[in-house]
Chains A and B, each alone.
Chain A
Amino acid sequence: MPSLKSLKVRITSVKSTQKITKAMKMVAAAKLRRAQEAAEAARPYAERMTSVLASLGSRITVGPESPRLLAGTGSDQVHLLVVATSERGLAGAFNTNIVRAARRTADRLLAEGKTVKFYLIGKKGRAQLARTHRDRFLHTVDLTHVKRLAFTDASEIAEELIARYEAGEFDVAHLFYARFQSALVQEPTVKQIIPVELPQAGAATATGAVAAEMSGSVDYEPDEEEILAELLPRNVAVQLFRALLENAASEQGSRMTAMDNATRNAGDMINRLTITYNRTRQAAITKELIEIISGAEAL
């Protein structure tokens, strides 16, 4: 039976932990709302980009002279896994889930005899992957200093990826991130970002561009190929930017859930400890009474 004193100390300590997790949950909830708004605000641009790419794609046939970003290098030997994780921990299984998805893909590719390289965004994923794949790290990006993710952050990463692609460092790039479904559900997702997969015209939102495209009356300046060559790198940046925004929202959602659970667990623990504390106290009182009574009877 633990002493009364140690139980009391224990209860106080769990209570202060609960205060911390509760505060973290509220902070995560506020940040989640902001992250969701940012993801929402980025939508119009991405949708326009998709519809323009779709209408261009329907007019262009992919051949050997197409931009390499579209046609690929003609080989799929070297795969680059771009793994986007968070910079901070205490977010439940958020990072673990993304890393697990990446690791599974890496194992599969390695089993097929391909070369796998890693490009890591966020330091939590780096720590987890370093155990098994440290020698395959190509580069890691640290976004700790970034308070609010700006497009330039994403486009710098994209430019670097494209430059490495052009230099022949890899053939295919996959991006791993957590797609945000709700505060409770975040789905680890993998998406091929290089070479670019053109969206189907049917998948695009029915904007005027697509409608006009059908009648074939749109003028392009310079011509379609050059516009496409200009747009493809930009599209990589946009994809990356959206993924990072979703990742940020997922991280906060995941942290919120994790901290909510932690707060609840702490509450349960406090209840249990309080019951033990009261019982122990009562037992001590009873014991003292028995001692007094039996002492009196002995006289």
Chain B
Amino acid sequence: MADKLHFSLVSPERALRSDEVHMVVVPGSEGDFGVLAGHAPFMSTIRPGAIQVFAEAESAPARIFIDGGFAEVNEGGLTILAEAALPVEELEPEAIARDLSNAREDLRDAKTDVERSLAERRIARFEAMQATITN
């Protein structure tokens, strides 16, 4: 298989996957982009959302939720540095809704700028998770 893209997904805790795929669609911070084999060297930040991994051209994509991060394309393939990654099927809507309301509560109770910005980041993350599930 000549036209395969080498795709590796790395989190700070461990390398999550590294294999040959057909195409990966990444939610870049300036818009989604697809990466096929032979893509030009490219670097982009990622907004929280789902990446789609197409193992074959016609296969259904595997969707993985990424909590922001960084994508790098070079001749060796595509590398995604993600702070947290979770297959979309494993996201639990109830737990997220609960966390989201907790985070909103924290934001209301926040007294300092430090607490406020921490809570805001958490809210953004959980909202992205919810958006991913409903799509």
Contact = CB atoms under 8 A, between A and B. Distances in A.
B43 interface: yes
Interface stretch (A36-44, A74-82, A123-131, A178-186): A36-44
Given A160-B114, A167-B113, A220 B13 contact: no
Interface string B48-76: 00000000000000000000001010111
B13 A41 contact: yes
Which of B13, B72, B79, B81 counts the most chain A CB atoms within 10 A? Answer: B13
A44 B76 CA distance: 15
Interface stretch (A149-157, A195-203, A260-268, A286-294): A149-157
Contacts of A297: none
Interface residues of B, number: 29
Interface string A128-168: 00000000000000000000001110111001100110010
A45 B43 contact: no
Contacts of A70: none
Contacts of B118: 156, 159-160, 163
Given A163-B113, A222-B45, A231-B70, A151 B30 contact: no
Main secondary structure of the interface of B (DSSP, over half): mixed
B101 interface: no
Interface string A217-249: 111111000110011001001100100000000
A212 B41 contact: yes
A48 B113 contact: no
Contacts of A41: 13-15
A42 B43 contact: no
Contacts of A220: 42-44
B97 interface: no
B77 to A, nearest CB: 8
Contact of A42 (B13, B81, B113, B121): B13
Interface in B72-131: 72, 74-76, 79, 81, 83-84, 113-114, 117-118, 121
A209 B72 contact: yes
Nearest to A169: B114
A57 B12 CA distance: 21
A227 B121 contact: no
Given A159-B121, A163-B118, A207-B74, A221 B11 contact: no
Nearest to B69: A234
Contacts of A211: 74-75
Nearest to A242: B12
A144 B28 CA distance: 37
Contacts of B72: 48, 52, 209
A163 B29 CA distance: 23
A52 B70 contact: yes
A276 to B, nearest CB: 54
A241 B74 contact: no
Nearest to B43: A220
A163 B15 CA distance: 29
A49 interface: yes
29 contacts: A38-B13, A42-B12, A42-B14, A44-B10, A45-B12, A45-B15, A45-B81, A48-B72, A52-B43, A151-B83, A152-B83, A164-B114, A208-B76, A209-B74, A212-B41, A212-B75, A217-B40, A218-B43, A219-B43, A220-B43, A221-B30, A221-B42, A221-B43, A221-B45, A230-B70, A231-B70, A237-B83, A238-B12, A241-B12
Given A45-B81, A52-B72, 6 more contacts: A48-B79, A160-B114, A167-B114, A219-B42, A220-B44, A226-B45
Interface of A: 38, 41-42, 44-46, 48-49, 52, 150-152, 154-156, 159-160, 163-164, 167, 207-209, 211-212, 217-222, 226-227, 230-231, 234, 237-238, 241
The list of the 6 closest CB pairs from A to B, nearest first, reads A208-B74, A41-B14, A151-B12, A163-B114, A212-B41, A218-B41
